[in-house]
Structure 1
Amino acid sequence: MTKRVKVEPLTSEAFAPYGDVMEASGAADKMINQGKCGRYHDRAQLDFSDGKAGISIFQGEVETLPLTLELVERHPQGSQAFVPMSNDPFLVVVAQDDNGTPIHPRAFVTKAGQAINFHRGTWHGVLAPLHAPGLFAVVDRIGQGANLEEHWFEDPYTIEE
């Protein structure tokens, strides 16, 4: 039997158990730069056990739906933020943790202008841009020690619209 996961729109409320949605929504927290720029302040909870925050550039292969979900991963020593460098939606897959095992995956599609931050230890799918160029700025922990756990599903899921 094929396990299926339907994609849903990304909202702050639905994504809250897994991380933060970063977007310029609502009124700006303050106006800066001679009143010409709205600042939406501190939109992600960066959380690192040690080390430092670093900004890297990732370029992922474009994916299409339906998509087979075989693997999720997590980073036990730090949060991980993905900020698209284009105005295109991307796929975000997360799963609940049950004593070290990911369960009940959910799939979200961002809208233009949204970025996400996975909380430390959140099971998530790999980078899945839906449009080229698939370029992202990624803010995560830079430091010593392993910060990656992978889980391969015995029975893969199909993510579909």
Structure 2
Amino acid sequence: MTHSLATHSLNPRAFAPFGDVLEIQGTPDKLINQGLCGRFHDRARLDFGAGGRAGISLFDAQPRALPYCLEMMERHPDGSQAFIPMHCEAFLVIVAQDDGGRPATPLAFVTNGAQGINFHRNIWHGVLTPLARPGRFAVIDRIGDTPNLQEYWFETPWQVQPPA
């Protein structure tokens, strides 16, 4: 038995309670490099907590398919976590508010292939879920000596459906 979960197109307004959508939209904040490069400035609220520092890692994740069985969510209480795709393929983003130390009802989004995301600190989210190869991402998150991962396993998994 599973719960059903619909997917939606990722957009900044719907995702705002959970983090930042990283994309080029509208007019650049300024032009640099002799006017040949538009800078879309400071698009994510990075937060690395006390005793940590920013790190950039590269991930190579195996692709998954929809429908997708969501059995577990995780969060990082001491730092934000940004995922920037190094390809032009969509990926699945699942988030949830906190409900007394466990995820509330999840929400599922599918990126357009050119969007990255930044989860704010302590936001419940699904694991990295590319929907096609290659599943390569630059990840900016907290590097530190203390644990920064909490997991929650659902008694009844969620079945994430393809977009309607």
Tell whether the structures are fold-level matches, with TM greater than 0.5.
yes
Residue matched to 1:91: 92
Letter matched to residue 118 of structure 1: F
Task: Please tell me the root mean square deviation across aligned C-alpha atoms, in Å.
Answer: 0.7
Residue matched to 2:35: 35
User: Cα offset for 1:131?
Assistant: 1.0
Q: Distance in 2 between matches of 1:25 and 1:100?
A: 35
Structure (1/2) with the larger strand percentage: 1
User: Cα offset for 1:2?
Assistant: 2.7
Give the aligned length: 161
User: Cα offset for 1:53?
Assistant: 0.2
Residue matched to 1:154: 155
Q: Distance in 2 between matches of 1:57 and 1:2?
A: 33
User: Cα offset for 1:112?
Assistant: 2.3
Q: Report the secondary structure of 1:147's partner residue.
A: coil
Q: Distance in 1 between matches of 2:74 and 2:95?
A: 9
Q: Distance in 1 between matches of 2:157 and 2:23?
A: 31
Letter matched to residue 24 of structure 2: A
Q: Distance in 2 between matches of 1:131 and 1:43?
A: 26
Residue matched to 1:121: 122
Aligned: 1:67 with 2:63: no
Q: Distance in 2 between matches of 1:122 and 1:36?
A: 37
Q: Report the secondary structure of 1:102's partner residue.
A: coil
* Aligned-residue identity in percent: 58
User: Cα offset for 1:88?
Assistant: 1.1
Q: Report the secondary structure of 1:13's partner residue.
A: helix
Q: Distance in 2 between matches of 1:28 and 1:87?
A: 21
Q: Distance in 1 between matches of 2:120 and 2:2?
A: 29
Q: Distance in 2 between matches of 1:109 and 1:13?
A: 14
User: Cα offset for 1:49?
Assistant: 1.0
Q: Following superposition of structure 1 onto structure 2, how do residues 99-138 of structure 1 map, counting pairs within 5 Å?
A: 99-138=100-139
Give CA deviations for 1:127-146 in whole Å, capped at 9, x if unaligned. 00011010000000001111
Give CA deviations for 1:89-134 in whole Å, capped at 9, x if unaligned. 1000001101111011010000121100000000000000011010
Give CA deviations for 1:7-40 in whole Å, capped at 9, x if unaligned. 0000000000000001110100000111011000
Q: Distance in 2 between matches of 1:2 and 1:156?
A: 5
Residue matched to 2:25: 25
Letter matched to residue 118 of structure 2: N
Residue matched to 1:47: 47
Q: Report the secondary structure of 1:153's partner residue.
A: strand
Q: Distance in 1 between matches of 2:150 and 2:55?
A: 19
